[in-house]
């Protein structure tokens, strides 16, 4: 085993360490001079001795001193985009990497400690009333949990900071550790009250409370970092006692049994950390492979300054290292490949241990790992759901009613879902100039990163249209490498160049619309280049452009930053154009040459050849995009890598956790997108190429009718939005078109709106948001555009269904519909202000709104959201006494009891079994004694069907 200590000029305690998912850096948290300190270090000098000696390789990447007191925990999000830190100042801070602006020395330090990377605090989460001891991201970064000496655990909605999903109360002592199970079904916490509690994420209630192994424990440890095994079978506690000796207790998920523990440490265990990989025995060369059970690997650190590493297949530890430090071990983190281990201590040092595969075994591949998960979770999920249902449906509605009441009384405010969202003032929506919506949607916006000639990194800014729905605009930098002409109907305001450090949200002024803007393309030096932009004129276009006289004045200060550009123009009579709306022009600007003839007479300007309806991204020398949310996957594009027999080749590179492939294309790549299954690339010659995640070409190049404006992939679906405002969606697995060259005319005509954002759902439904606040999806079975969200919708603003939302609902409300509607749905937020609205009117509006939500979820093929809104709708019908609709709903879910040939009833909706949904709706009906007969009637029918 190699054992090194990275260069850390620190003697102050280090309380936490965590390796970034891509393995290139790690973070530490601890005590600074007069503040808390978070430091991000380079991993290279730790891994390679020659890099440690090389002075040009930085060891420290960034130091952040924002915490007011000691930092107890640092944790990277699973996708590696964020770092969360919690400290004695009662705060949780969320950090994100910023575009590099130039070296900035750490304040008050010698110039040697210049920050190589810029990490900025984008969110401060305030709720705890005591020191924050531990933070943990859930699988897929849906939630962020934090625990504190105030005895509580707060679950934050990581896609909508600073929204709180739930506060878990139940511990009677300082909570010192948290861990999620690998699929996010449970979260476990350990506290000084001599208990370990496991909470369900389905309804945030306590699943089990384990106290026996901890009855002799004293509150002597600073932290209690427990850990869940990657296969989900075992939960290992930090400090436990057995025969008055300190141990790490092993808790089996199956029945929460506590029959085993890791023994041998002389003092209390402070931290246990499972290796992220599941292993199997390494086969000896030439021997016939014996089937061996997969096993996990766990590192245990203690106050006795020693570290032990265990395999669940062995009775004794694989290795024990004594006296590694001068003081207690505080935190442990594994590299993602499972072979490296960083350990930090109270004495201010960090040690790195390197294992070989011979020592640990062969890691399981994704397929084998999934099979194990399927085995464990596939079964247990069904069982728990079943037992829950059977215990809920009580024959006597009267008794049931009291049951429900009891549950509501346990957590009145949280259950209503009206806690933090309604109390948080709007001020928290923008921090350091970055809107928090960005944090949540970074799933949608893959940021495009380029390098300028002098080697600086640039993040292409995003044009953000004003949308409270929280949906952002697609990355659309207007501009072509060809000459750009701007013509417009009336005066163009000075264009604000957006600084690449942050994105500004435009303030919407009621009644003021932005100025339309058309983009004309003129030929470069060679005419043949224009073949890519020539297109038939749309029906509603006039050719009055040719008479426009334009003069363009450009004032650009080129210090890498564009300060401002003013456009002045003269215009003859003619209809103002409607089809294009002004987009904020984002910087960095493409090199633009304005064509003026020698005598500077504006009238001699070249006229535009084709007018594009939607903006297209400018061509860049190189850019990279992040793909997929689990695992850090990058697409890198390098245009014109070489010239072969006159044609320029461009290269696409795909990389994920060390695996990579590349592909060459004969034309410059404009835009690239990908999912876990496919990668799609659009080129300048209007071809679209699709590859599998392993780099195999799936179909010959698709020829597009016009240049690409936006491209999205989701699972095995690919969506193309072209500049001539047509939409296509393909299922590349089945090789079929779901949507074929469908025009956006129906939703764009008659408005001066433009597309502000587009995305593709997991089910292959295309969603398009316009700058006027309306969002549409294309319904391929009806072949129509359906309106699914509208910012100005009065129904949304006057609905009130707060009393129909339960705590469990938080889970089901995530999906494409929630994404498009975003924060707009704080139910009944205007309703209270409009108290003059008569009840029956508001009731009618709420009913209409809920039915609209149900049908929208149906069109979006979003099963979880359909179930979510169905239950809210059912509760609303029950509360307001809509008997007819309730009966109709039950009848549709039940279907015919006796088979008949004429019945057209479908037993499932979006893959959910209707009769299963009915079993969920019935307990809701049972709450209202008015519907006792209805309840009994459908209960009996279901029973009858079951016996059949």
Pull the structure tokens for residue 550: 């334009």
* Tens-place pLDDT, residues 675-707: 888 999 999 999 999 999 889 999 999 999 999
Are both 676 and 825 inside the same structural domain? no
CA–CA separation, 754 vs 602, rounded Å?
A: 29
Q: Do 551 and 568 touch, CB atoms closer than 8 A?
A: yes
The DSSP secondary structure of 238-254, one letter per residue, reads EEEEETTEEEEEEEETT
Instruction: Say which CATH number the domain at 156 has.
Output: 2.130.10.10
CA–CA separation, 220 vs 302, rounded Å?
A: 12
* Confidence (pLDDT) at 100: 58
* Tens-place pLDDT, residues 910-940: 999 999 999 999 988 888 888 888 898 998 8
Name the pLDDT band for 309 (thresholds 50, 70, 90).
Answer: very high
603: in domain? no
CA–CA separation, 627 vs 749, rounded Å?
A: 33
* Confidence (pLDDT) at 856: 92
Are both 58 and 173 inside the same structural domain? yes
Are both 842 and 711 inside the same structural domain? no
Name the pLDDT band for 124 (thresholds 50, 70, 90).
Answer: very high
Measure CA of the first residue to CA of the last residue in the chain; give whole Å.
64
403: in domain? no
527: in domain? no
Q: Which of 363, 385, 411 is the last residue of a domain?
A: 363
Pull the structure tokens for residue 417: 């879902």
Query: CB-based contacts of 942: which residues, under 8 Å, 6+ apart?
Result: 894, 915, 918, 919, 922
Please count the CA atoms within 13 angstroms of the CA of 778 that sit on its side-chain side: 27
* Confidence (pLDDT) at 288: 58
Are both 700 and 828 inside the same structural domain? no
* Confidence (pLDDT) at 341: 92
Q: Which helix (H) or strand (E) holds 919?
A: helix 914-925
578: in domain? no
> From its phi and psi, is residue 208 left (phi > 0), alpha (psi between -120 and 50) or beta?
beta
341: in domain? yes
Mean pLDDT, all residues of the chain? 74
Pull the structure tokens for residue 184: 């996010």
- pTM for this predicted structure: 0.45
Residue owning tokens 């404006």: 709
422: in domain? no
Are both 811 and 914 inside the same structural domain? yes
Average pLDDT rounded to a whole number, residues 542-570: 37
Q: Which residues pair with 518 in a beta bridge?
A: 487
Are both 125 and 253 inside the same structural domain? yes
Pull the structure tokens for residue 409: 């009384």
Q: Which residues pair with 546 in a beta bridge?
A: none
* Confidence (pLDDT) at 382: 31
| Least confident among 228-232, 293-297, 625-629, 670-674 | 625-629
Is pLDDT larger for residue 757 or for residue 449?
A: 757
Which of 919, 915, 911, 815 has its CA nearest to residue 869? 815
CA–CA separation, 305 vs 454, rounded Å?
A: 48
Does 829 have pLDDT greater than 60? Answer: no
476: in domain? no
Query: CB-based contacts of 9: which residues, under 8 Å, 6+ apart?
Result: none
* Tens-place pLDDT, residues 367-380: 888 778 777 766 43
Are both 235 and 333 inside the same structural domain? yes
Pull the structure tokens for residue 32: 């600074």
Share of the chain above pLDDT 70, in %: 68
Is pLDDT larger for residue 762 or for residue 479?
A: 762
* Confidence (pLDDT) at 802: 76
Residue owning tokens 């306590």: 206
The DSSP secondary structure of 106-151, one letter per residue, reads PTTS-TTSEESSEEEEEEEEE--SS-EEEEEEPGGGSEEEEEETTS
Q: Do 395 and 403 touch, CB atoms closer than 8 A?
A: no
376: in domain? no
CA–CA separation, 834 vs 845, rounded Å?
A: 13
Give the residue numbers spanning the domain of 647. Answer: 622-743+760-766
Pull the structure tokens for residue 806: 């339960």
Pull the structure tokens for residue 894: 């039940």
Is pLDDT larger for residue 275 or for residue 6?
A: 275
| Least confident among 111-120, 182-191, 515-524, 815-824 | 515-524
Are both 840 and 707 inside the same structural domain? no
Are both 676 and 804 inside the same structural domain? no
Pull the structure tokens for residue 549: 């006289």
Are both 735 and 851 inside the same structural domain? no
Report how many domains make up the chain.
3
Are both 717 and 799 inside the same structural domain? no
Are both 138 and 251 inside the same structural domain? yes
CA–CA separation, 158 vs 137, rounded Å?
A: 8
CA–CA separation, 160 vs 428, rounded Å?
A: 11
Q: Which residues pair with 637 in a beta bridge?
A: 623, 652
Does 778 have pLDDT greater than 90? Answer: yes
Q: Which of 331, 363, 395 is the last residue of a domain?
A: 363
* Confidence (pLDDT) at 404: 58
């Amino acid at each position: 085993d190699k054992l090194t200590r990275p260069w850390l000029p620190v003697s102050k305690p280090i309380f936490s360490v965590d390796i970034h998912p891509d393995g290139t850096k790690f973070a530490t948290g601890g005590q600074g001079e007069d503040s808390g300190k978070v430091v991000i270090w380079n991993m290279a000098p730790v891994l390679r001795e020659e890099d440690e000696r090389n002075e040009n390789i930085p060891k420290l990447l960034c130091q952040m001193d924002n915490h007011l007191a000691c930092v107890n925990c640092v944790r990277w999000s699973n996708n590696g985009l964020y770092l969360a830190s919690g400290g004695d100042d009662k705060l949780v801070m969320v950090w994100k990497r910023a575009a590099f602006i130039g070296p900035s020395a750490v304040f008050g330090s010698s110039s040697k400690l210049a920050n190589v990377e810029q990490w900025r605090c984008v969110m401060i989460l305030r709720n705890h009333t005591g020191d924050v001891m531990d933070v943990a991201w859930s699988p897929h970064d849906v939630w962020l949990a934090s625990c504190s000496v105030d005895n509580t655990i707060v679950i934050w909605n990581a896609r909508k900071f600073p929204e709180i999903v739930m506060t878990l109360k139940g511990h009677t002592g300082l909570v010192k550790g948290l861990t999620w199970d690998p699929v996010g079904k449970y979260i476990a916490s350990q506290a000084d009250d001599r208990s370990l509690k496991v909470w369900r994420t389905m309804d945030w209630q306590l699943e089990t409370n384990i106290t026996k192994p901890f009855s002799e424990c004293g509150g002597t440890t600073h932290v209690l970092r427990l850990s869940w095994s990657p296969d989900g079978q075992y939960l290992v506690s930090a400090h436990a006692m057995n025969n008055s000796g300190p141990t790490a207790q092993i808790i089996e998920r199956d029945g929460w049994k506590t029959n085993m523990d890791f023994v041998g440490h002389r003092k209390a265990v402070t931290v246990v950390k499972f290796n992220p990989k599941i292993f199997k025995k390494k086969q000896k060369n030439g021997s016939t492979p014996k089937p061996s059970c997969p096993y996990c690997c766990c590192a245990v650190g203690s106050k006795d300054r020693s570290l032990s590493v265990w395999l669940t297949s062995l009775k004794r530890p694989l290795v024990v290292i004594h006296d590694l430090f001068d003081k207690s071990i505080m935190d442990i983190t594994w590299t993602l490949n499972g072979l490296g281990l960083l350990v930090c201590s109270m004495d201010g040092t960090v040690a790195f241990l390197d294992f070989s595969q011979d020592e640990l075994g062969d890691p399981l591949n994704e397929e084998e790992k999934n099979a194990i998960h399927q085995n464990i979770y596939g079964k247990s999920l069904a069982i728990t759901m079943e037992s829950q249902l059977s215990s809920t449906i009580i024959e006597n509605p009267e008794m049931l009613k009291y049951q429900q009441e009891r549950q509501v009384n346990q957590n009145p405010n949280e259950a209503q879902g009206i806690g933090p969202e309604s109390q948080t003032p709007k001020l928290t929506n923008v921090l350091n100039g970055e809107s928090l919506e960005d944090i949540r949607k970074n799933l949608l916006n893959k940021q495009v990163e380029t390098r300028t000639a002098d080697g600086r990194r640039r993040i292409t800014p995003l044009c953000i249209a004003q949308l409270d729905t929280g949906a952002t605009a697609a990355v659309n930098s207007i501009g072509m490498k060809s000459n750009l002409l701007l013509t417009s109907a009336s005066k163009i305001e000075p264009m604000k160049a957006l600084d690449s450090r942050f994105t500004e949200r435009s303030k919407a002024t009621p009644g003021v619309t932005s100025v339309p803007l058309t983009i004309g393309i003129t030929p470069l030096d060679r005419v043949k280049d224009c073949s890519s932009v020539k297109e038939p004129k749309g029906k509603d276009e006039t050719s009055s452009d040719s008479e426009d006289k334009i003069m363009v004045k450009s004032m650009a200060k080129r210090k890498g930053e564009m300060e401002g550009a003013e456009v002045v123009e003269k215009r003859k009579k003619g209809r103002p154009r409607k089809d294009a709306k002004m987009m904020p022009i984002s910087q960095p600007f493409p090199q633009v040459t304005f064509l003026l003839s020698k005598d500077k007479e504006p009238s001699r300007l070249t006229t535009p050849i084709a007018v594009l309806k939607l903006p297209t991204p400018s061509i860049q020398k190189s850019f990279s995009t992040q793909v997929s949310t689990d695992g850090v996957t990058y697409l890198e594009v390098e245009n014109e890598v070489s010239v072969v027999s006159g044609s320029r080749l461009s290269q696409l590179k795909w990389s994920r956790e060390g695996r990579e492939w590349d592909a060459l294309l004969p034309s410059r790549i404009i835009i690239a997108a990908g999912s876990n299954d496919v990668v799609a690339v659009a080129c300048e010659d209007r071809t679209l190429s699709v590859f599998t995640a392993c780099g195999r070409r799936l179909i010959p190049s698709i020829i597009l009718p016009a240049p690409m404006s936006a491209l999205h992939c989701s699972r095995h679906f690919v969506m193309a939005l072209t500049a001539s405002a047509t939409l296509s969606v393909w299922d590349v697995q089945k090789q079929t078109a779901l949507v074929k060259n469908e025009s956006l005319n129906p939703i764009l005509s008659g408005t001066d709106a433009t597309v502000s954002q587009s995305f593709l759902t997991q089910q292959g439904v295309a969603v398009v948001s316009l700058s006027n606040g309306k969002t549409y999806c294309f319904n391929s079975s009806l072949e129509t555009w359906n309106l699914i969200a509208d910012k100005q919708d009065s129904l949304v603003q006057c609905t009130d269904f707060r009393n129909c939302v339960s705590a469990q609902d938080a889970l089901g409300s995530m999906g494409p519909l929630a994404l498009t509607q975003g924060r707009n749905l704080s139910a009944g937020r205007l309703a209270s202000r409009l108290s003059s609205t008569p009840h029956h009117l508001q009731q009618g509006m709420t009913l209409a709104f809920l039915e609209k939500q149900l049908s929208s979820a149906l069109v979006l093929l979003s099963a979880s959201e359909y179930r979510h809104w169905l239950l809210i709708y059912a509760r609303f019908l029950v509360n307001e006494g809509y008997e007819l609709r309730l009966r109709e709903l039950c009848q549709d879910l039940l279907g015919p009891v006796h088979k008949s040939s004429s019945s057209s009833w479908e037993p499932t909706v979006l893959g959910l079994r209707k009769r299963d949904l009915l079993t969920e709706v019935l307990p809701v009906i049972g709450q209202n004694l008015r519907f006792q007969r209805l309840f009994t009637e459908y209960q009996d029918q279901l029973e009858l069907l079951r016996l059949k």
